Structure 1
């Protein structure tokens, strides 16, 4: 019979432990019931809340928070920052041909590659089914193409070995389409506008044949009408314009 734990401080321990076991957290430090043990449960749950369960990358919630923080930082400091959005090419065909378990193996393999391609300060997230994103703080425009091409080439280089339901081993070539945009410097913007700019480039990469990257030219990263509204809407310039 499994050990039963009471409700402690509003924390339903049985449900929490079950959730952590499913996520692979089976070795919690401290004696069961001790303060150290309870704190380790809380810490593990906090980490779980910002991680994608399949890949271990940041989940969409964590990504959106990181994106908002970075776009605000760029507005204050003027340091460049690059957002890359990635979509696995023809991923549906993998699921249809080899099953969802194979698709999961591909997603986990791509996640590992992405973590190998970035710096500790970068945020790598799984934001949708086969969609990933990378936030790269302090990334000068001259480095953007190099980073994007490194990611694209690294994913293409190593096919993912999967075993089909019949037992046969297959090595699946994986490619990715990438879109990227730099956050507008010294301009108050939003994470949504930044994401939309990167998405435009992602759609362009797909339209041009996939397995490539497209970055928004820095010269095109102009202030949009919405950003102008945020910049001047409550400023003294607006007051001047409103005077008769």
Structure 2
């Protein structure tokens, strides 16, 4: 008769002191939904917990559909950039883009097709910018690009490159009957440069770019309009911030 020695059953490893008492189920479920199940490190280890924190931080600043920066991240980046321009005097361009006649896409082909167009435009925008630039989805069909250190002479070239790249290739939309439609997509673009050496706000910069976006739409869409640098005058609000508390406030 053969006698087999039984290996004593090992008790489960105690939870790490770092993770003891933490309710991580909701965080892990959220990461799983986002396709981020593979986390480095052994469960409960400092490396594993840090990877959860890093993944959650990244999700909090990303648009769920397109993967671009979301509006929260965009507004923080815009505020940092307008402050940097005020300190350094380096030019910076803000572009805001709106997909032309986007409602017709949803009404004709459905919201799944609309989501496909949004993701396609997001991918194209990512191909048109530098690593240092920030591309964000800031609304339903509205996107924005922050371009640091972009001289005014380059502004029209950048805006036209984006416009033409999106216009160049239609998006393939598959209808319910199985037919494929080649859907042309265009955007209207507005842009404004941050005031150099002037204390301004992200809101004022955004408003200036929006004015140019509305102008592009009014002039027929599928075009860009940039605020002329020569008329980028300091507003009354910016003048108040510039001279508040100084001996020059009465000028």
Whether TM-score is above 0.5 comes out as: yes
Q: Which structure has the greater CA radius of gyration?
A: 2
Matches within 5 A, 1:1-244: 8=19, 11-238=22-249, 241=250
Gaps of at least 5 residues in structure 2 are 1-14
Q: Deviations over 1:150-198 (max 9, x none)?
A: 0000001111112223322222110000000000001000000000000
Compute the TM-score of the two structures, normalised by the length of structure 2. 0.90
CA contact (8 A) 2:97 2:188 kept: yes
Distance 1:235 1:116, change over 3 A: same
Partner of residue 5, structure 2:
none
Say if 2:19 and 2:44, in contact at 8 Å, map to a contact too.
Answer: no
Could you tell me which runs of 5 or more consecutive residues in structure 1 were left unpaired when the two chains were aligned: none
User: Does the residue aligned with 1:134 lie in a helix, a strand or coil?
Assistant: strand
CA-based RMSD: 1.8
Distance 1:10 1:110 in 2: 44
> What secondary structure, in the 3-state scheme, does the structure 2 residue paired with 1:125 have?
strand
User: 1:233, CA displacement in angstroms?
Assistant: 1.7
Bigger proportion of residues as helix:
1
Corresponding pairs, count:
236
Task: Output the CA distance in 2 between the equivalents of 1:177 and 1:205.
Answer: 6
SS at the partner of 1:236?
A: coil
Instruction: Label 1:91 to 1:237 Cα distance change in 2 as closer, same or farther (>3 A).
Output: same
2:248 is paired with a residue of what secondary structure? helix
